[in-house]
Amino acid sequence: MDKNSFDENNGKAELLFQLDMEDDAQKTYTMIADSGTLRFFIERDNLIAKEFSKLYYYLYIL
């Protein structure tokens, strides 16, 4: 497992940013792993300290 991948048991981490794929044939969007969601998490202490180099990520694929 990647050291920066999100662990669901980490109760200190908060959702910082979420990027979803929009399904609309009329427009062009970024595709995330063929219909997925990319989430970035950060621990509260790191957020307060503005230490954004210590993020976790989670890729959810439908």
Q: Hey, where are the domains in the chain? A: 1-23+30-62
Tell me how many degrees the CA angle 33-38-43 measures, rounded to the nearest 5.
150
pLDDT in tens, 19-59: 887 666 666 566 676 777 888 999 999 999 999 998 888 88
- pTM: predicted TM-score of the whole model, two decimal places: 0.70
Query: In this predicted structure, what is the pLDDT of residue 4?
Result: 65
Q: What is the DSSP letter of 5?
A: B
And the tokens for 35? 């219909």
CA distance 26 to 29: 10
What pLDDT band is residue 7 in, cutting at 50, 70 and 90? Answer: low
- The pLDDT of residue 5 is above 90: no
